[in-house]
Chains A and B, each alone.
Chain A
Amino acid sequence: MIDNNEHLSNLNFFGKITASVTHELNNVFSIINEYNGLLEDQIFMAESELTMNIEKLSRIQDRLDKQIARGENIIRNLNKFAHSTDHESIEFNLNEYLENIIYLTTRLANLKKIKLNFDNAIEPITIVNNPYEIMKNIFLVISYLLETLRSQSEICFTIENNEKLSMIILVLKPDTENFPANTADNLKMRINSDMLDIGLIEPDKMQIMIPNKSNVNKF
């Protein structure tokens, strides 16, 4: 049974992600709507002038294809996110889920003019854990950093792995910028410490440790 605070925190997480992603999807539909209008304009002109600008039509079709692909990508990521609640404990590729949550939070980061970069590992990093909880806690970390870092910052994510746990390494750019004082301590108060742990390795380098529960039960 989850307590009321956790229930609210889950709702808040789902609300923020779906609000942001559906806004992005609405942008795609708005652009498609404008291209559709442009096609109507072209048809109207072709009817009155009896000529068709094939080059222009081809350009519109190409742009429509790109927006449809963008929309499909948004839906695929939202669907993956929604399915992250299917199992409490499952073997999954951490790369995929980290990429997913970074993708879903990119628009929020863009609004703050902060860049999120993910360096996807070549080999799958397979762990046993709760993918939804991992994503929620990484989201809490990213949200906190979006609140505290200055605009134009860039956060680069990579994953390192060993037998007992996986580590997501966050490096801050430009090189002159450091994580604000007490970042790790403040984050520890926000996250679920059963799911992950956080520590600063260097002033501009932080690690998020995620246990592989096929090997260990908790930190």
Chain B
Amino acid sequence: MTRFLAVSNRKGGVGKSTISVMLAHAAAAWGRQRVLLMDLDTQCNASLMLLGGEGWEKASRAGRTIADYFYDRFDNVAGDEAVYIVNNVGDVAHPRTAPGRVSLLAGSQQLEDIQGELYLKQSKKDLHADAVALLVRSRMKRLMRHFGMDCDLVILDCPPGLSLAAHAALDMADHIVVPFRPDFVSQFALDRVALLIERVENAEQLASIPFAERRYACLPNCLTGVGHERLLIEQIALDHPLLATRLPVLDSIARAFDWDEGKKTMEQKYADALPHLRKLHAEVFAGTQRRAKSA
């Protein structure tokens, strides 16, 4: 059964795209999974990491992006979904016989405009604004789920903020990783995204949901080892489930996402970040399996 894993936080610059791509590589290489990364962020960083600038531009010109997919298929236009996907992306080499691979539904800078257009199209039906938003989101959810047929794992790289596509992704994901930098404002961002994921209205209602039953787990990222990071992580752990993995600031992680055409092994690509990635992969993979079983 296909699992849907979202990587989300309303706050920008917390490492969502980097972690999405790391997990995609790890799941394909070590989990031998067929992975599809769906880039819902109009910054398209994950697409640039996996295709490079020229590859992404080529996909955009060919109409092979998430915005094209939503726009073309919104009204049930028949056709082959596979035409929107770019296969075997990224610069990690997989043996020919290995089933694992990473495919990409590339991001688009037009996605926000397309969402607005789809919303306006639906609002002609005299529906209340909330109902229109719900309709667009439901349709987007169905369109996203459609890709699950040919994959073991779909990773949804969500944008910062709350677009209709981000809402749809959070609604449908089996498990959500919420990366954060341990700073003061991150606490607020985590509280808010948690309310949204668990579909509750305030901190009290959220507190009534046991950690084990929550769909999300928070991932401390970009740690530098200063004392107040520890302080904030301890405070955040009172309200939110945290992964045991802690990702430090490492040059090897930053370098891993400079686009390079040459294929590498995971060891070459991630260097001293490899142990952290192994731990993250094991932990997230266990989390998605647990969610899939409980569902």
B is bound to A: no
Query: Which A residues have a C-beta under 8 Å from some C-beta of B?
Result: none
